[in-house]
Amino acid sequence: MGGAKADEQRVKEEKGMMWSGWRRGAAIVLLLGGFLGCAMPSSSQTPPLTAAAARHTLDTWNPGFCKVADFYGFYISGENSANQEAYVLIANPGDKAQKPVVYTAQFQLLTFPEGQPRWFLTSLITHSSGLTKRLGWDNLIIPVKAPPPLAAK
């Protein structure tokens, strides 16, 4: 009889250890999940770059030279959605004789030190004078601004 009680006691201890191992595993998973959840950037925090905002920014940053005649769309190279290029047809409102030219407008998502991401126009380049000549503006840091809402009539 003494052997049966010893076996029963050993089974209880093993079950206790099993729950102890399960609890330890759950605690590790919860800690890792909480840490990674807090450390990983949330995709919902990333503001979208809209065609209307890109077009408005291009139209207003240098209005004496730059007027978007046509907006062809965005290109995202690879999986880096924080670096987008827009292909646009730019006309010079100050020189009606000059033909509109296709430009590549580069937009980058930059993050401020306090963690707030924001889109910026960083370059506006054309190769209209040949593949070896780049014309336009590099090293821009123009914040992207959404167009003002239309007034209700």
- How is 3-62 classified by DSSP, letter by letter? HHHHHHHHHHHHHHHHHHHHHHHHHHHHHHHHHHHHHSPPGGGSPP--HHHHHHHHHHHS
- Alpha-carbon distance 54 to 106, whole Å? 10
Beta-carbon contacts of residue 142 (< 8 Å; ≥ 6 apart): 57, 61, 120, 121, 122
Query: Looking at residue 9, what is its pLDDT?
Result: 63
Residue that has been written with the tokens 């769309």 in this structure = 73
CA 64, CA 42: separation in Å to the nearest integer?
39
What is each CA distance from 136 to 83, 118, 142, in whole angstroms? 19, 23, 14
| Residue 110, pLDDT above cutoff 70 | yes
- How does residue 13 score in pLDDT terms, banded at 50, 70 and 90? low
Q: Tell me how long the chain is.
A: 153
- Residue 103, H or E segment: strand 101-111
- How does residue 138 score in pLDDT terms, banded at 50, 70 and 90? confident
From the number of C-beta atoms within 10 Å of its C-beta (0-12, 13-18, 19+), residue 57 rates as buried
For the chain, domain boundaries? 1-40, 45-143
pLDDT in tens, 69-96: 999 999 987 778 888 999 999 998 888 8
Band (143; pLDDT cuts 50, 70, 90): very high
